[in-house]
Structure 1
Amino acid sequence: MALLDVGTIWAEPASLVSMRGQEVLARFPDAEIREVDSHWAIPELHGNAGNVSRWVRVKAENLVLGEKKALTVRPNGRSADFIAPSSANGCAMACAYCYVPRRKGYANPITVFTNVDDILRAVSRHLARTGPKPEANQCDPVDWVYDLGENSDCSVDATISDGVADAIAHFRGLAGAKASFATKYVNRDLLDLDPQGSTRVRFSLMPREDAQLLDLRTSSIDERMGAIEDFRAAGYEVHLNFSPVVLREGWQRRWAALLDELTDTLTPDTRAATACEVILLTHNEGLHEVNLGWHPKAEDVLWRPEAQEAKTSQNGQENVRYRVDVKRRAVARFRELVGVHAPWLTIRYAF
């Protein structure tokens, strides 16, 4: 199935008549348009248990247009200094561990927000209030870093509207700030946007055996690795996102092989400019039950009650993570693997 084969567009009235909404409609001229009062309240999509068996099809065939109401910039301190208001949520890809479906019920097709200009103005106001970055930190030595894609994949969103292109252009002219987003999709149209170092792309990588089981409908690991040098040449800052690290039999051997491959294939200049983040798997009981309905093989490695414990995340959700003792040893071991197999690679944070 194609990544997007949109047959139905669900749209709030204001987003439907907006310039950006009309731009999206023009890209999918054959789609049926259905007006809804709220992008959050679509019974046919959200909370519909009958959609479990159509998990991938719902993602591919449905698109939602709405307006972002909450324009709050939130502190982060891990991937970025701040989380910008999202210009989209949901995704057409189908990673088995994705946390977004936990909030949106049994389906999470892409919702594109059409008021991107409001979102970017909110970022500019926040930067003006915050002022220059006083000192270097693990997010960046100079700029405040704003994560653009907390609830979506910006590389995919850019195939739907020009909102991502506008954001990259906005940060290009925003002194003291840098945009950032993680991606599992190689969109080579982004190479033409001339970010001039003002946008950081974090390519998510994992061993191929894990990706083939868990990263469904994404660009292959070969494609992602092959894009690193091209995106650097196009003016992006490129980092790596090792996420999630799934503790399963042979995980150390597979990650060591991936790190060796990066060492062998990246140029010295790219190695010197690259940093990474390491994130061990966090799961969710509700998502576990959903996955059993459409991709049970993934749960053979994601759901390990003997090694996991309950966790309340920063957003208040009740999730499941590896036990503290298991996680501590795994993080330490991962750092050792990087030290041996990719000693050039700076770990910005690992948890």
Structure 2
Amino acid sequence: MTAPLIDLPAAPAPTRLWTPKRVLVTRAAAEQPHTAEILRRCEAAGVEDITLLTNDRLTGLRGETERETYARAKTTLAVVVAPPSALKPQPIPPSADWRIDLAKGCPAHCQYCYLAGSLSGPPVTRVYANLDEVLDGVRTHAGLGTVTSGTAERGHEGTTFELSCYTDPLGIEHVTGSLAEAVRRVGAGRYGDGVSLRFTTKFDDVADLLAVDHQRRTRVRFSVNAPELARRFDGGTSPLAGRLTALRSLALAGYRVGLTIAPVMAYPGWREGYADLLDQVGLALDGVPDLDLTTEIITHRFTPASKDVLLGWYPHTKLEMDEDARTQKRSKFGGVKYVYPRQTMAEMRSWFSTELASRLPGAPLLYWT
């Protein structure tokens, strides 16, 4: 499985880079080899406030108000050691066979953030310094899984490992280097030939990835939305045009690519908005040889807990979170989330199925949720 021999595109200039104001390094993390690379990158990015802690507790993240705590956490990068509970890959259907976490927390300011309510404490971004141990889960779980591994529909992807369940790994890559290292190792066959990586991003700094011999074993999906919604709700991320430019660059470099259209919202004019999005994607990928493009669609939903957190973070948001306009969906553990009514969901799904086939033929829809 060899990447196509083509002239590599020049890396597009990134439109958004997140650089933390301060970096906290726990005592255990300071002993890890990968920490030296993280600190080298942070210093090169101009970070002056780097603190080596005397223990493994993160302190000083809380302010006097919720907004102050949010601001402090969102400008902090914590270099920590992944605990044993985070080292065992977990199933992550319908995206991939397994979840591997390079970090937890995200520097973006999306007003519908799906991490709200699922991660405890201040929303600090924690990058894992024990990278060797984290990635060893690829080796131990190769050949296992039920989403892609051994299936007729997606078996050609091998055993798949999702890297963006609890972070945007590209959004922090220029100060961590963890993502490119993971892609490099998998591309080199370090964990076997039948494995592949997947991640989703809202950022566009792909220079590191363009320089990696990935051997077509990584699929990079860009999280996109209708242009009006991306402008309104995707705070602190690369604009849609930047993401699509990066999407083209990676596709030309032989990467398998994808779209995560999320969160799809039934707002007034949604058909026109999403048609515009699909047309922009088509233009961005026009003429790319050997294009391998997939799509995944996630509709907007929220829980009572995530709504409370989001309203604390973004008290003036215009994001629609009206329980009376939604349908309750209960998990097997009794949790409640609010989704669009069945008729709305059916209407949107039918529209996307038709329009994807028309505007982006050859880009299969892996799942709708």
1:122 aligns with 2:137: yes
Q: Aligned residue for 2:262?
A: 243
Q: SS at the partner of 1:154?
A: coil
1:211 aligns with 2:226: no
Structure 1 gaps of 5+ residues are none
Structure 2 gaps of 5+ residues are 1-15
How far the C-alpha of 1:266 sits from its partner, in A, is 2.0
How far the C-alpha of 1:332 sits from its partner, in A, is 2.2
Identity of aligned residues (%): 24
Q: Aligned residue for 1:321?
A: 339
Aligned equivalents of 1:114, 1:315: Cα separation in 2: 33
1:110 aligns with 2:128: no
- CA 313–15 in structure 1, closer or farther in 2 if over 3 Å, else same: farther
Aligned equivalents of 2:290, 2:337: Cα separation in 1: 35
Equivalent AA in structure 2 for residue 78 of structure 1: P
Greater relative CO (CA pairs within 8 A, separation 6+): 2
Q: Where do 1:1-351 residues align within 5 Å?
A: 3-29=17-43, 30-33=48-51, 35=53, 38=56, 42=58, 44-45=60-61, 50-53=65-68, 55-56=70-71, 58-60=73-75, 62-69=76-83, 70=85, 71-84=87-100, 86-105=101-120, 107-127=122-142, 133-138=149-154, 140-172=155-187, 173=189, 174-189=192-207, 190-269=209-288, 273-298=292-317, 300-312=318-330, 318-351=336-369
How far the C-alpha of 1:336 sits from its partner, in A, is 2.7
TM-score normalised over the length of structure 2: 0.83
- CA 313–205 in structure 1, closer or farther in 2 if over 3 Å, else same: farther
Aligned equivalents of 1:26, 1:272: Cα separation in 2: 36
Q: SS at the partner of 2:297?
A: strand
Aligned equivalents of 2:332, 2:234: Cα separation in 1: 24
1:2-41 CA deviation, whole Å, 9 max, x = no partner?
85443333332110232222332333352141627556xx
Aligned equivalents of 1:316, 1:227: Cα separation in 2: 41
Aligned equivalents of 2:304, 2:103: Cα separation in 1: 25
TM-score normalised over the length of structure 1: 0.86
1:299-332 CA deviation, whole Å, 9 max, x = no partner?
x333132322344458986433223343233222
1:148-203 CA deviation, whole Å, 9 max, x = no partner?
12111111231122221221112111300110000100112221112120110001
- CA 38–304 in structure 1, closer or farther in 2 if over 3 Å, else same: farther
Higher helix share: 1
Moved more, 4-13 or 171-180: 4-13
Aligned equivalents of 1:53, 1:252: Cα separation in 2: 38
- CA 334–56 in structure 1, closer or farther in 2 if over 3 Å, else same: farther
Q: Any conservation in 1 of the 2:168–2:202 contact (CA below 8 Å)? A: yes
- CA 3–314 in structure 1, closer or farther in 2 if over 3 Å, else same: farther
Equivalent AA in structure 2 for residue 209 of structure 1: E
Aligned equivalents of 1:142, 1:186: Cα separation in 2: 24
Q: Any conservation in 2 of the 1:101–1:287 contact (CA below 8 Å)? A: yes
Count of aligned pairs? 343
How far the C-alpha of 1:297 sits from its partner, in A, is 4.6
